[in-house]
Amino acid sequence: MIFRNMEAMAVDETVSTLPNGVVGSTPGMLRLINSRALLAELFRDDGSHTVTELGQTVGLSRPTVEAALADLVDEGWVTEAEAIATPNKAGRRAKRFRADAGAGSVLGVDLGLHGIVGLRSDLRGRQLARVEEVYTDLASAEQAWESVQDVVRRLVEGTDPSRLLAATFGVPAVVDRSGEIDYTVAVPQWVERRVPGRIGDLFPTATTFFDNDAKLAATAEAMWGRFRGVQDGLYLVMGRQIGAAYLVDGSLARGARGAAGEMGGLASTGWPGAPARLEARIAPGTDVESVMASAGQGDPDAAAAVRALAADVAPGVVQLIATIDPEVVVVGGEVLPAAPVFCEALTEIVTPQLRHPVEIVPSTVGRDAVARGALARSLTHVRTTHMGLG
């Protein structure tokens, strides 16, 4: 898997090819600006390019391009590629250069209540490793800590630790604008027992970020899924974890303290008790995952449990739709294998209560949406901070 559009590593960030704070026109500064323009161009595709090709693309002279490429090779972001043979042409083959996606790697991890999905990618976003572990319950701080260590160890096994540049963790918590976990109803032990700080200590050479899981999933959906080209959209996480995130005017809404969309504790939404009611409808010895899979395959009893979940959460969904007026509602989370059943049931319930009907559809990003959004957050950091393309 290759994430090709590195200009859009986060839906609410604007990326330029100039380093932060670049002002002035000294020779050194101009050389820096030129090198960043070339680096951005080289990361647009996976191919190699000659000095002449790059000069024509970015509008710079050959000596200027050569000097900038020398800087980028020294910094480790660009490497000289094997020359391509040109039939019927004699003489020395032109040097070719390409972005070195292996100059570093990043992590994106979905740290959920019932399991972990971890991804590692190179600097193009090409997936290098994936680890998934499912657990009965990760609410215990020590269980979460042990599980994170195990997943991270497996993700980075055999790699150079110094080349890991950023790691982002999606968590079921409110995360403020500074990246601090403000509060979490789902897993208060994680904060009380300093799990986030201990996770950060695992990465001495990398920058570690935490973000709300629903917001990261919405970020992934905006980059690769049903939110592409959407200005106003609502993302729902449904299952034993319930949450929401949304786009407003094309940007991910966070709120003053990162709590935009955090309606799970409001009784009027029907959300606080919905997970427990879902589990109560499941026969003993059966887990939620198998019920969702069975519902997606047409099992009537399992489908009835999924439709009941839709009825439970519908009041909160109606409130959000009426508030945001989205173009589309995208559903993800544990319910995804049964999302067609869930979306149909939810549509039937909420549409009569709305002035304008809205399409409710399954996520097309899939079960790794939170981890992929976290990976995008890590890549954005490397691009802006390490590469100077912010």
Residue 110 DSSP symbol: E
- Confidence check: pLDDT of 94 > 60: yes
% the chain with pLDDT above 90? 64
Contacts of 283 (CB under 8 A, 6+ apart): none
What digits encode the pLDDT tens for the residues 202-258?
A: 888 899 999 999 999 999 999 899 999 999 999 999 998 899 999 999 999 999 989
pLDDT of residue 9: 40
DSSP single-letter state for residue 94 = P
Give tens-digit pLDDT for 120-169.
Answer: 999 999 999 999 988 777 667 788 888 889 999 999 999 898 899 999 99
Q: How far apart are CA 356 and CA 373, in angstroms?
A: 30
Is the four-CA dihedral 168, 170, 175, 176 of positive or negative sign? positive
Out of 17-26, 73-82, 266-275, which region has the weakest mean confidence (pLDDT)? 17-26
State the pTM of this model.
0.85
Pairing of strands 181-183, 127-134: unpaired
Helices (H), the chain: 27-42, 51-58, 62-75, 141-156, 188-192, 195-200, 213-224, 274-280, 288-296, 300-324, 339-350, 369-381
Closest to 345 measured CA to CA, from 301, 312, 369: 312
Give the confidence band of 14 by pLDDT, cuts at 50, 70, 90: very low
6 pLDDT above the threshold of 70: no
Residue 3, pLDDT above cutoff 90: no
CA 283 to chain centre: 34
Q: How confident is the model at residue 16 (pLDDT cuts 50, 70, 90)?
A: very low
Average pLDDT, the chain: 87
Extract long-range pairs of 155-158: CB within 8 Å, 24+ residues apart.
Answer: 155/107, 155/118, 155/119, 155/120, 155/129, 155/131, 156/107, 156/120, 156/129
Question: 119 and 129 in contact (C-beta within 8 Å)?
Answer: yes
- DSSP for 131-176, please give it: EEEE-S---SHHHHHHHHHHHHHHHHTTS-GGGEEEEEEEESSEE-
Q: What is the pLDDT of residue 217?
A: 96
Q: Write the pLDDT tens digit of every residue in 346-368.
A: 999 999 999 999 999 999 998 89
Q: What is the mean pLDDT of residues 360-385?
A: 94
